[in-house]
Structure 1
Amino acid sequence: MKAVVMRDFGGAEVLQIGERPEPVSRPGWVTVWLHAAALNWHDVLVRQGRYGSPLPHTPGADGAGVRTDTGEAVVILPSLFWGDRSDAPGPEFDILGDHLPGTYAEAVSVPEECAAAKPAGYSWAEAAALPLVGVTAYRALVTRAGLQAGESLLIIGAGGGVATMAIALASAIGAQVFVTGSSEAKLARARATGAVDGVLHTADDWPERAKAAAPGGRGFDVVLDPVGLWDRSVRTLRPGGRLVVLGANVAEQAPMDIRAFYFGQYSLLGTTMGGPADFQGLLELVEGGAVSPPVIAEALPLDQARRAHELLEAGAHIGKIVLTD
């Protein structure tokens, strides 16, 4: 079958189209013939060798297609071997495309629990773009932060896949959503997709301006930080607010004012991609009809994976970049 094959770690140029054997049937696993695969920043880290993937390797966590055994249209949960506890993944946890062949291919093999019915009304590209950012945003906002209708949420960094999905989920829950962004165009797009308002985070005083924009000017109930700016994000919280963090692509270390943190009665919640229970909760919310499909920034054929990664790393897009058949 046709697949993107990495024979070395490095820049986008290592993503070359090639051939791989088709998945072999085995008990408890299903083969999915893919119609679309969505990109995530995690794929860039895999490509760079951050997760020690075996070479040659086919990356890709997100996908949607047809089960070869039943003919059912499905979306793929990238969380493999989550384990028995809902509060954190077990020791065998892995992400599709890290150590097992991923979705940048014509077909992929996954545990049966990781194949769920494709949401009604979603295109193949939208379905492929849903799982990783969807289950990540759902776990962050619902499972970990406990976001409720009527609460206020600030999302740091409008434009990325997690941020755009978080806007959709939080709006469906009934929260008031605010964002920060690097350009007026990204803020305008966020408003068009459900955000109440936003501020540019290009100035040093953006935390103070964001806090002032919160309802009542006291700060936000919940702040979602998918980029690693904890020391600034925490300054936008109301007393007793919750900061939920899940990424570090902007900063991997954050100096914190410890006294200000505990006097503020803040909660700091770490999270990652969710598991099967989170995925089920996400799909139930989606099937309720209140969640807008993921925004698709660009759809490219599989043999343009290199170009797709270049677009992803440039960071000028709003929404998800998808590879299609």
Structure 2
Amino acid sequence: MKAITITQESEPIQLVDIDTPEVSGDECLVKLSASAFNRRDQWIREGMYPGIQFGTVLGSDGCGVVAEGPAAWKGKKVIINPNVDWGDNPEVQSAKYSVLGMPTNGTLAEYIKVPAHRLKEKPDHLSDEEAAALPLGGLTAFRATIKKGGAKTGKRVLVTGAGGGVSQFAISFALAAGAEVYVTSGSEKKIERVKEAGVIGGFNYRDEKWAKEAAALGGFDAVIDSAGGNQLNNYLRIIKPAGRIVMYGSTTGYPEKVDVFRLFWSQAQIMGSTMGSDEEFVEMLDWVNKYQIKPTVDKVYELHDYLAAFDRFKAPDSFGKIVVRFQTTYI
């Protein structure tokens, strides 16, 4: 079968032929119809991800049909929970925790072998490409926005970096919860686009006055952020007393300093979040089905265009998830 792996070649991402996995016991062989990319795949490509193991099949998100396995699953259209060994504590992942696609072989392949308990049936209202875009980003956003951010009716929520795959889910979940949603972005076009989905307004983070404008609204109950860096102090300026700043990433690095006075005086909470438990994965799917939430798919590529799909991460106009689909002629 064909698979996208990480190598030590000058272009680390390669489409190669490897053996189709063999399954036994409660394992299922899923014939993938579509897989989605995440920022971590690009970081692995750039050598910026810890514990890289060469030869690993990349990809954490996928949708497909169970080709082999227990009779209860065979022939079903499924998505895959990308968690590996979350552990028993719902508050935090175990020391053994990892995500499908590194070091365990992932979804950027024609077939994947996974235990049956990692599978959930594909939501009926989603296409294969949309369903493939759901698992990692959806779970990350659900935990950060609903479970930790407390988004609900009567709360004002700011989602940073509108246009990213996870932020798009965060917007969708916050809106479904009845929250008053605002965003930040470096693109006015992206701000206008999310306003069409129900977002009330947005702020261009390239404007030094954006935090002052945001604070004039009366503050935010929660900030859902993946950027980190020096924007943290702006979040402290706009957070309401006892509000929550939930950080699920740090794409701009470390802050040079933290306004500790604002932090303790506001009684604000700065909370870390990453992915989510298996129970939260089920909750997330319940929300997706109940509110008919659909992932925002930026672009769908054919398998042979995999490098163009990776390069799409660098495009300033990218908006939502990047997906690759598998044609039956490949298999």
Question: TM-score, normalising length from structure 1?
Answer: 0.94
Query: Once the two structures are superposed, what CA deviation does each residue of 1:123-166 show, in whole Å capped at 9, x if it has no partner?
Result: 01100111111000101112222222221100111100011111
- Contact kept, 8 Å, 1:153 with 1:177, in 2: the verdict is yes
The Cα of 1:100 is off from its aligned counterpart by 1.2
Distance 2:116 2:58 in 1: 20
- Aligned partner letter, 1:8: Q
SS in 1 for 2:113: strand
SS in 2 for 1:177: strand
The Cα of 1:9 is off from its aligned counterpart by 7.2
SS in 1 for 2:61: coil
Report the counterpart of residue 77 of structure 1 in structure 2: 81
Report the counterpart of residue 187 of structure 2 in structure 1: 183
Matches within 5 A, 1:1-325: 1-8=1-8, 13-49=11-47, 50-68=49-67, 69=69, 70-212=74-216, 217-228=217-228, 229-288=231-290, 290-325=291-326
- Contact kept, 8 Å, 1:82 with 1:276, in 2: the verdict is yes
SS in 2 for 1:66: strand
The Cα of 1:291 is off from its aligned counterpart by 4.0
Do the aligned partners of residues 148 and 254 (structure 1) sit closer, same or farther apart at CA in structure 2, a change above 3 Å counting?
A: farther
SS in 2 for 1:121: coil
Distance 2:316 2:274 in 1: 21
- Contact kept, 8 Å, 1:47 with 1:59, in 2: the verdict is no
The Cα of 1:79 is off from its aligned counterpart by 1.0
- Aligned partner letter, 2:27: W
Distance 1:95 1:184 in 2: 34
- Contact kept, 8 Å, 2:125 with 2:292, in 1: the verdict is no
- Contact kept, 8 Å, 2:86 with 2:93, in 1: the verdict is yes
Query: Once the two structures are superposed, what CA deviation does each residue of 1:62-121 show, in whole Å capped at 9, x if it has no partner?
Result: 111111231111111111111111001111111000101111110112232221110011
SS in 1 for 2:8: coil
Query: Once the two structures are superposed, what CA deviation does each residue of 1:25-77 show, in whole Å capped at 9, x if it has no partner?
Result: 13343221111111111111222332222212221111111112311111111
The Cα of 1:269 is off from its aligned counterpart by 0.9
Compute the RMSD of aligned alpha carbons.
1.5
Distance 1:227 1:79 in 2: 23
SS in 1 for 2:199: coil
Question: TM-score, normalising length from structure 2?
Answer: 0.92
The Cα of 1:178 is off from its aligned counterpart by 0.3
- Contact kept, 8 Å, 2:149 with 2:223, in 1: the verdict is no
- Contact kept, 8 Å, 1:294 with 1:319, in 2: the verdict is yes
SS in 2 for 1:84: coil
- Aligned partner letter, 1:26: S
SS in 1 for 2:300: strand
Any unmatched runs of 5+ in structure 2?
Answer: 327-331
Distance 1:324 1:273 in 2: 24
